[in-house]
């Protein structure tokens, strides 16, 4: 679809709707919803008229507060450690809301699916623009433990255990041993017997019977962990077990079991209980065509018809949504479990505007409004399904929306009112639209109770998006002084306080059993041993879910929820925090600004600059030139890191801050970017769609975008990268339409 087509508009009432969106809605979405197209667009217009001015005012308030904070730091240079004075100023300007009795409330969200309310497990995030990945994510509810272990560094390659093309038996044996240990720990046999010695699994009188190699008969220590099976009772092909509310399936198929004595082919673990399909920081969507591409994938998910065809090796693969899983229960009845992850959709924040619809004054409308009206209309396809055989998302009739980048309670209240209006125009019961609040902006963290209160009837999660939160922290205190290095921010006082504050406030307001308390992304997609070692901290901290970048990471992170009983942890944390309530106000720590105590050496400064420049360039070049919103980019130590707009916000704000405080010069930044662009070009030499930046720095839009993000970083609203990225990507698209100027690397 060409840009020209996207610019063609249909005038409906006082709206100028791009034709591509208009046709998509009228021809692909509306049929089957019982919604009249005319009344839908009339409703959309009314919502835009009502909410667009308020959206603008909220953005203005952000800027006003930031200007006051900048001024305070300039006036009281070096006084950022005087927390009492700083705090009193923040109360005075309304950045901090008054603490009062109204904060003693419980949320009352109802009709929440069990995956959110009653289970604890991994949460996967996936760019919705990519149908192939999105289908994979929806199907990542169940993952092969054998594949996750064999295919990653979770099992070391030492001592002849390399990942070879042909099956490496030595490595395979380690995978099998790891898995048997996992079974012994989660579904143990009585009398100290071990699954490692199993010779045959069968079902006898509704109970699991395990015959061991020496003929001993083993039974489960807790017989209730056995739920069902597939195949014959005497020769089952699958055995279904449960632990901490998560399912485990032992698959038996002797010919495919690589001579396993018990014929075990694999152990499948329930992995991504929930998935966030993302319209925000992991996608590059800058116009109506892009938005429609995303919405069409959401439509496929909600109708259950999404498919992606692609080639893998020599094969053409067609990927579809998996069906639910069926078993024979221990009492002989049918037992069905969800086959797919429960889906949330993450909208864009309040900052973005889109030209997919122009208002009566031919001005762009808030993109968040577009997201909620269109994705809810699409979700009606899921809501109206009744048959249990259909591929259905919510079994409780809810639509789960993650609203990112909200600053404080007024913005949450705005979103909640907007959701109500959308429910009205689509004739949905009140609070059908559920809200996940990203606790990822400083003004939300420091007023978290008040934010939760504004969404208390529809709240389904609070999640610490520590990446955006870090970017916002740097930008908010831009004038206070030079911030510590990226790696040191992880040890900042505010960050520890933030993670604890989120859990304790969530527990205080009764999220347990109704909503998730979530934690952030594991941003090193290839480092699974490190993840296995470290990410257990999230369930231990009382989080019912935590983000993972891939289905494989979901399967491995699921193991943590078998090791930790999160709901028991939540009880302990709630009890401890209520008994020490006075010490639990983390506000002072949250407001502590991590300014450098001593200026780093010239070499350390340059290294930090190199590292951030490499991440920024590696990410931005794919964003601008290829429209890829989430990438794995090598850092200076050659570790592939997940980069998205939130990590870009951190890197660009950090350099902008050092420039502002003269730790680096503009000249030094430009030279560093030019040098690192050549490094990034070399790293991409094998990617045929890549356009080298170093051929012409002055005219390479991606290079210029990267530089602008840093040189003008201090002026970006709240340090966001979207305004520059969007403008530059549109510029690139327009340039490609006229005359593609820069050669692909493959043509050089
Ligand atoms: C701060 C925040 O907002 S975090 C939230 C935003 N971040 C995300 O959404 C992370 C999404 N993850 C990704 O995009 C990718 O995993 C990356 C870019 C981080 C890493 O990608 P790579 O390691 O290069 O993955 P690669 O391209 O090799 O794909 C490997 C396979 O994993 C699958 N895969 C990778 N990530 C995902 C995912 N998030 N969901 C589903 N499948 C995935 C792919 O489908 C592919 O399998 P296939 O060939 O069978 O289709
Ligand atoms: O959205 C997540 C974050 O960390 O930012
Ligand atoms: Mg974020």
- What single DSSP character describes residue 599? P
**Cβ–Cβ under 8 Å, residues 551 and 136:** yes
What's the structural domain count of the chain?
2
Close Cβ partners of 25 (under 8 Å, ≥ 6 residues apart)? 37, 40, 374, 377
Ligand 2 pocket residue status of 521, Cβ below 6 Å: yes
Q: What is the CATH number of the domain that holds 703?
A: 1.20.1220.12
pLDDT of residue 488 exceeding 90, the answer is yes
pLDDT of residue 513: 98
Task: Determine the atom of ligand 2 nearest the C-alpha atom of 464.
Answer: 4
Neighbours of ion ligand 3 (CB under 5 A): 440, 465, 468, 646
User: pLDDT (tens digit, 9 = 90+) per residue, 692-745?
Assistant: 999 999 999 999 999 999 999 999 999 999 999 999 999 999 999 887 666 776
Close Cβ partners of 246 (under 8 Å, ≥ 6 residues apart)? 119, 120, 121, 269, 270, 273, 558, 561, 562
644 is catalytic: yes
pLDDT of residue 585: 86
Q: How confident is the model at residue 1 (pLDDT cuts 50, 70, 90)?
A: very low
Of 270, 303, 321, the residue at which a domain comes to its end is 270
Nearest CA to ligand 1 atom 20: 632
* Structure-token pair, residue 475: 């930008």
CA of 550 relative to ligand 1 center, distance in Å = 5
Nearest CA to ligand 1 atom 37: 550
| Nearest C-alpha neighbor of 547 from the set 140, 132, 114, 110 | 140
Q: How confident is the model at residue 97 (pLDDT cuts 50, 70, 90)?
A: very high
Residue 184 lies in a domain: yes
User: pLDDT (tens digit, 9 = 90+) per residue, 502-547?
Assistant: 999 999 999 999 999 999 999 999 999 999 999 999 999 999 999 9
Question: Can you give the residue range of the structural domain that contains 221?
Answer: 143-270
Q: Which of 281, 644, 681, 691 is catalytic?
A: 644
Q: How confident is the model at residue 103 (pLDDT cuts 50, 70, 90)?
A: confident
Phi (first) and psi of residue 20, to 5 degrees = -65, -40
pTM, two decimals, is 0.97
Residue 352 lies in a domain: no
User: pLDDT (tens digit, 9 = 90+) per residue, 627-674?
Assistant: 999 999 999 999 999 999 999 999 999 999 999 999 999 999 999 999
Q: Which of 296, 346, 453, 458 is catalytic?
A: 346
Residue 327 lies in a domain: no
Residue 720 lies in a domain: yes
CA of 508 relative to ligand 3 center, distance in Å = 24
pLDDT of residue 677: 98
Of 270, 287, 304, the residue at which a domain comes to its end is 270
Ligand 2 pocket residue status of 646, Cβ below 6 Å: yes
Residue 197 lies in a domain: yes
**Between these two residues, 572 and 585, which has the higher pLDDT value?**
572
Ligand 2 pocket residue status of 440, Cβ below 6 Å: yes
Q: What is the CATH number of the domain that holds 189?
A: 2.170.170.11
What's the CA gap between 154 and 134, in Å, rounded?
Answer: 24
| Strands 274-278 and 307-312, sheet pairing | unpaired
Ligand 2 pocket residue status of 461, Cβ below 6 Å: no
CA of 692 relative to ligand 1 center, distance in Å = 24
Residue 21 lies in a domain: no
CA of 438 relative to ligand 2 center, distance in Å = 8
346 is catalytic: yes
* Structure-token pair, residue 715: 């002026």
Of 240, 270, 300, the residue at which a domain comes to its end is 270
Residue 243 lies in a domain: yes
* Structure-token pair, residue 8: 């063609």
User: pLDDT (tens digit, 9 = 90+) per residue, 172-224?
Assistant: 999 999 999 999 999 999 999 999 999 999 999 999 999 999 999 999 999 99
Residue 679 lies in a domain: yes
Task: Determine the atom of ligand 2 nearest the C-alpha atom of 646.
Answer: 5
pLDDT of residue 258: 86
Task: Determine the atom of ligand 1 nearest the C-alpha atom of 521.
Answer: 4
pLDDT of residue 747: 64
pLDDT of residue 746: 65
pLDDT of residue 583 exceeding 90, the answer is no
């Amino acid at each position: 679809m060409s840009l020209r087509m996207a610019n063609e508009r249909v005038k409906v009432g006082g709206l100028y709707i791009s034709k591509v969106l208009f046709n998509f809605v009228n021809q692909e979405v509306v049929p089957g919803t019982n919604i009249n197209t005319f009344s839908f667009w009339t409703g959309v217009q009314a919502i835009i008229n009502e909410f667009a001015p308020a959206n603008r005012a909220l953005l203005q308030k952000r800027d006003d507060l930031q200007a006051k904070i900048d001024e305070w730091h300039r006036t009281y240079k070096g006084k950022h450690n005087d927390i009492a004075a700083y705090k009193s100023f923040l109360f005075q300007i309304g950045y901090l809301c008054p603490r009062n009795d109204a904060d003693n409330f419980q949320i009352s969200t109802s009709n929440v699916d069990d995956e959110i309310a009653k289970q604890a497990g991994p949460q996967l995030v996936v760019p919705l623009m990519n149908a192939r990945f999105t289908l994979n994510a929806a199907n990542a509810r169940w993952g092969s433990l054998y594949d996750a272990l064999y295919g990653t560094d979770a099992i070391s390659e030492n001592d002849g255990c390399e990942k070879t093309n042909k099956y490496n038996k030595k490595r395979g044996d380690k995978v099998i041993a790891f898995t048997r240990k996992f079974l012994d720990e989660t579904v143990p046999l009585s009398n100290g017997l071990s699954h490692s010695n199993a010779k045959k699994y069968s079902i006898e009188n509704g109970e699991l019977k395990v015959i061991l190699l020496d003929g001993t008969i083993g039974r489960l220590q807790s017989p209730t962990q056995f739920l069902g099976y597939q195949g014959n009772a005497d020769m089952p092909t699958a055995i279904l077990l449960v632990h901490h509310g998560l399912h485990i399936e032992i698959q038996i198929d002797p010919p495919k079991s690589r001579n396993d004595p018990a014929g075990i082919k694999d152990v499948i673990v329930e992995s991504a209980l929930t998935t966030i399909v993302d319209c925000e920081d992991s996608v590059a969507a800058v116009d109506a065509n892009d938005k429609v591409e995303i919405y069409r994938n959401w439509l496929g998910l909600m109708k259950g018809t999404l498919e992606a065809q692609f080639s893998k090796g020599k094969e053409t693969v067609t990927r579809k949504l998996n069906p639910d899983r069926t078993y024979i229960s221990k009492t002989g009845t049918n037992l069905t479990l969800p086959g797919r992850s429960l889906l949330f959709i993450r909208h864009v924040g309040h900052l973005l505007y889109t030209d997919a619809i122009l208002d009566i004054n031919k001005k762009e409308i808030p993109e968040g409004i577009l997201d909620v009206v269109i994705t809810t209309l699409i979700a009606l396809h899921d809501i109206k399904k009744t048959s249990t055989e259909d591929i259905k998302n919510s079994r409780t009739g809810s639509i789960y929306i993650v609203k990112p980048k909200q600053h404080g309670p007024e913005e949450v209240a705005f979103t909640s009112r907007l959701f109500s209006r959308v429910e009205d125009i689509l004739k949905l019961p009140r609070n059908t639209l559920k809200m996940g609040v990203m606790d990822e902006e400083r003004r939300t963290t420091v007023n978290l109770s008040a934010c939760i209160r504004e969404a208390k009837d529809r709240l389904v999660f609070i999640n610490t998006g520590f990446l955006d939160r870090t970017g916002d922290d740097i930008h908010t205190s831009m004038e206070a002084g030079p911030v510590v290095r990226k790696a040191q921010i992880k040890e900042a006082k505010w960050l520890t306080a933030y993670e604890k504050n989120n859990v304790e406030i969530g527990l205080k307001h009764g999220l347990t059993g109704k909503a998730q308390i979530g934690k952030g992304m594991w941003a090193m997609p290839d480092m699974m041993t490190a993840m296995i070692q470290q990410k257990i901290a999230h369930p231990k901290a009382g989080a019912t879910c935590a983000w993972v970048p891939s289905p494989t990471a979901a399967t491995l992170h699921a193991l943590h929820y078998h090791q930790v009983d999160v709901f028991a942890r939540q009880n302990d944390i709630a009890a401890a925090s209520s008994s020490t309530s006075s010490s639990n106000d983390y506000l002072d720590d949250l407001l502590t600004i991590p300014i450098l105590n001593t200026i780093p050496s010239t070499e350390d400064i340059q290294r930090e600059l190199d590292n951030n420049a490499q991440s920024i360039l590696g990410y931005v070049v794919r964003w601008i030139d290829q429209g890829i919103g989430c990438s794995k980019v090598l850092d200076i130590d050659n570790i592939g890191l997940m980069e998205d707009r939130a990590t870009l916000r951190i890197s660009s704000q950090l350099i902008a801050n050092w420039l502002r405080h003269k730790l680096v010069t503009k000249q030094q930044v430009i030279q560093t970017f030019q040098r690192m662009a050549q490094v990034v070009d070399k790293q991409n030499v094998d990617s045929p769609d890549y356009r080298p930046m170093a051929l012409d720095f002055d005219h390479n839009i991606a290079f210029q975008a990267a530089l602008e993000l840093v040189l003008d970083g201090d002026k970006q609203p709240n340090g966001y990268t979207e305004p520059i990225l969007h403008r530059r990507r549109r510029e690139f698209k327009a340039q490609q339409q006229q005359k593609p100027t820069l050669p692909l690397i493959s043509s050089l």
